[in-house]
Amino acid sequence: MWDKESFRRAFIVYFDKFTQTVATDAGDWVIKGFIDVYQNVYTISVDTKVISKLVELMLIPIISQFAKRYDYEVVLAKYQNYYPDITLIAPDDTLIAIDLKSTYRASSKSVSGFTLGAFTGYFRDRSSTKNIMFPYGEYAAHFVLGIIYTRTEAEIEEQITYTL
């Protein structure tokens, strides 16, 4: 039988892997840009949507490794605006929602904020299938993996293309 607290403890063990995936020990991003087939490197934009998607793409394989280790099936959201980003299905068919959220520090004591979903939709109607992978009420637990990053003060040169 699936146990929420055991899941939470096991998932926390993977936090170090999450951190190592996105940042160096010094705290620098491991991704410095996008590369095309001609080996041109384009800098990462300051656009929060781009950064959020990069973080998501980097963490999904780690979450998938976690899932494989504990025999969970992984179901990714079909569409960008679907909740959650990842559904894990336990061996006993228990549904677990994993939502990835990222934001930047606005100051040393505050962050820009997270959006957690449309209150007018599946939060109210727990049996709704609109913009959600499975009805909200069928999930045994909902976990948010929040990523908070510090934006660089340095000027990002988006007009320059680098080559390898």
Provide the annotated active-site residues: 85, 99, 101
Please return the burial class of 108, using the count of CB atoms within 10 Å of its CB with bins 0-12, 13-18 and 19+. Answer: exposed
